[in-house]
Amino acid sequence: MTTGLVITIFVALAFDFVNGFHDAANSIATVVATRVLTPVQAVAWAAFFNFIAFAIFGTAVAATIAKDVVDPKSLTIAVVFAGLIGAIAWDLITWWLGLPSSSSHALVGGMAGAAVAHGGWLTLLPEGFRKIGVFIVLSPVVGLLLGFTLLTILLWAFHKTTVKQLLNKVFRRVQLLSAAAFSLGHGSNDSQKTMGVILALLIAAGLLPPEADVPLWVVLSAHFAIALGTALGGWRIVHTMGSRLTRLQPMSGASAETAAAITLFFTAAHGIPVSTTHTITGAIVGVGTAQRLTAVRWGIAGRVVWAWVLTIPGSFIIAFLAYLPFRWFAT
């Protein structure tokens, strides 16, 4: 392995770490907002399930990232490095601003920007972008509908229950399970993107054949990096996700997480890289809507949507600029 390859693999794992750090709030916001767990307990819980997700899901999402977004022939070490820089920079900017934008789409935008800087627009694979673009819209919509439907069913099923404290106690326990399920989905979907990047690097460096599967050491290191990022957590975004969008009770928190987890399990199984941020935000809006439409603070939801819209272009531009020095040195 060359020095450049090793450094880029470390940068990829750093992206995974930043992803976990940036997205930690997704996993813990609802359980912290409903006071089921303290923030420290919540991050430990989420980090553990982020890590063990490797034992449950395959690597279909990794394959999509490695082969279906950008022409694999254009994925040089410099391109991947610049793409990761674009994604990490965007993640840090939105983390600082407290906006839950998508780390996944930052990665896609970053890789696209660097690839275009390297080899022009023809390096982009339309079918891969089509799949990703469609699920940018569909994942929050599905999360919203499932969250709304689940909570409505639960409210109907328990509408005669007079002992609210008992109901809250039961759903606090249920939220532990739903938070675990969501963290499994998050760990699987998001760490697979880094695995895909590292796989692409190893193929580009000639260390693996093009049809190779993800090596075990890559799987374990990616899951470890995201779990570590989650464990070190991002409190800044928790406030937006958990309480500013809508007020959550244990039942609605459990419904939101379960809805998001179902969506993530489906997409992980089918190799679709989606945004866990979009999905859980859509689910939280859905449960808020089940209470009443005015329960959702649409102004804040609007700011969140703007962060989504700007993510791919933003990370694209940063990665494009980050690649230019490599181009100048090569000429």
Partner 1 sequence: MVRYLRRRIGRPTRFFFLIAITGVVMIWPTPDKYRVVPLLASGLAFLWCILFFLEDLGRGPRDEIPGKEGKAAGDAVFAPPPHR
Report how far residue 26's alpha carbon sits from residue 37's, in angstroms, rounded to the nearest whole number: 14
Q: How far is the CB of 322 from partner 1 (least distance, A)?
A: 30
Closest to partner 1 by CB, 41 vs 149, is: 149
Closest to partner 1 by CB, 34 vs 252, is: 252
Closest to partner 1 by CB, 160 vs 292, is: 292
Closest to partner 1 by CB, 44 vs 138, is: 138
The pairs formed by 118-125 with CB atoms below 8 angstroms and a separation of 24 or more are: 118/74, 118/76, 118/78, 118/79, 118/323, 118/326, 118/327, 119/71, 119/74, 122/71, 123/70, 123/71, 123/74, 124/69, 124/70, 124/71, 125/68, 125/69, 125/70, 125/71
Closest to partner 1 by CB, 73 vs 130, is: 130
The tokens of 167 are what?
């109901």
Closest CA to 192 of 300, 117, 112, 264: 264
Q: How far is the CB of 143 from partner 1 (least distance, A)?
A: 10
What is the DSSP code (8-state) at residue 214? P
Q: How far is the CB of 63 from partner 1 (least distance, A)?
A: 14
Q: How far is the CB of 200 from partner 1 (least distance, A)?
A: 22
Q: How far is the CB of 152 from partner 1 (least distance, A)?
A: 8
Q: How far is the CB of 131 from partner 1 (least distance, A)?
A: 6
Rg (CA), the chain: 20
Report how far residue 20's alpha carbon sits from residue 190's, in angstroms, rounded to the nearest whole number: 8
Report how far residue 23's alpha carbon sits from residue 193's, in angstroms, rounded to the nearest whole number: 14
3-state secondary structure of 124: strand
Report how far residue 331's alpha carbon sits from residue 321's, in angstroms, rounded to the nearest whole number: 16
Q: How far apart are the first and last CA of the chain?
A: 25
Report how far residue 46's alpha carbon sits from residue 50's, in angstroms, rounded to the nearest whole number: 6
> Residues in the site for partner 1, rule: CB under 8 A?
127, 130-131, 133-135, 137-138, 141-142, 144-145, 148-149, 266, 270, 272, 289, 293-294
Q: How far is the CB of 137 from partner 1 (least distance, A)?
A: 6
Closest to partner 1 by CB, 85 vs 256, is: 256
Report how far residue 97's alpha carbon sits from residue 302's, in angstroms, rounded to the nearest whole number: 15
Closest to partner 1 by CB, 20 vs 282, is: 282
Q: How far is the CB of 286 from partner 1 (least distance, A)?
A: 10
Closest to partner 1 by CB, 8 vs 139, is: 139
